Amino acid sequence: MKHNFGAGPGILPQEVLKQAAEAVIDLNGIGLSLLEISHRSKEFEAVLDEAVSLVKELFSVPEGYSVLFLQGGASTQFALVPYNLLPSTGKAAYLETGVWANKALKEAKYFGEVEIVATSKESNFTYIPKNYTIPADAAYFHITSNNTIYGTQLQEFPKSPIPLVCDMSSDIFSRKVNVADFGLIYAGAQKNMGPAGVTLVIVKDDILGKVDRKIPSMFNYQTQIEGGSMYNTPPCFAIYVSMLTLRWLKGKGGVAAIEQENITKARVLYDAIDANPLFKAVAAPEDRSNMNVCFVMENPELEKPFLKLCDERGIVGIKGHRSVGGFRASIYNALPLSSILVLIDVMNEFAESNK
């Protein structure tokens, strides 16, 4: 058995994988593969309608918001957000909390002025900045809710006087969120929602249509809303798997239930790291992520032997991001507590044999 701690594409529920595999051969007994039916067919329209409906239900999306399933990954949204929201003579505000936040603000600079409200770059992004002031004259304030590389997470979202835009790629549907506090939420699917290839966007309709530039159709949120996420052929398979995953989440009791599971899983793992003399968590305790647990060894020479033992025990994806090293246990919604307990046993065994 494999224990998948990969940061993304990450683990998906086994039942979802089985259902998706069946649909690749024959979707719901229609005699055709999901991969070969028209996206305009009633069969796929039912899939997309259910996916949108589940997003609205699980996140209690209020009236006045649109739900989109788009292509290009969250990285494309780094550009589409300012393209659609930042006037050419305006300013956008960004909170810099890691690599992806930095990439997002760099893209925004192509469209207008960018103000970095606060940053934790000087500490290699080991904490979330606090006590900053959001400029009221900016078009929007962009934040990244969870930082996969550094293992930090916003435990509370800021109250913003301007539209709040959030990249939730690595913790979407892992905890309760009040969508009404945001102007726009986007998330690549490949952590908690589905496979790579589709990106979820939840946007407040009344923040659109206010920029002074012409936006190409594919990059225009209003065009995508009018087309119902089908202005062009959508990523049908990725949407289908996302729909199945959202169904699975609803069956588990929804976001509130999975949030409690995630809190428990994270607490168990962090407690084990803190108690183990060989390992040390890197993120500030108050900003520790419940999705990506990053840690290092007090003696770096023991890293390779530990990774070898993990591999022998079926633990995969535990190596830290190449830019920071160490280890990263991504404990997304579909990862069971039992896998975390296996990792803890291996860590304790390794510590015992390396006293």
Residues with a known catalytic role: 100, 167, 191
Residue 350 identity: F
- As a whole number of angstroms, the distance between CA 262 and CA 169 comes to 16
Which amino acid belongs to residue 209? G
How many C-beta atoms lie closer than 10 Å to residue 266's C-beta? Answer: 20
HSE, CB side, 13 Å, CA atoms: give it for residue 131.
0
d(CA 139, CA 142): 10
Q: Rounded to an integer, what distance in angstroms lies between the CA atom of residue 127 and that of residue 124?
A: 8
Distances (CA, A) of 173 to 144, 209, 291: 15, 28, 11
Taking alpha carbons only, the member of 142, 131, 88, 135 closest to residue 112 is: 88
Minimal CA–CA distance to 50: which of 184, 244, 256, 334?
244
Q: Cα(161)–Cα(242) distance, rounded to whole angstroms? A: 33
- Rounded to 10°, the helix 73-85/99-108 angle is 40
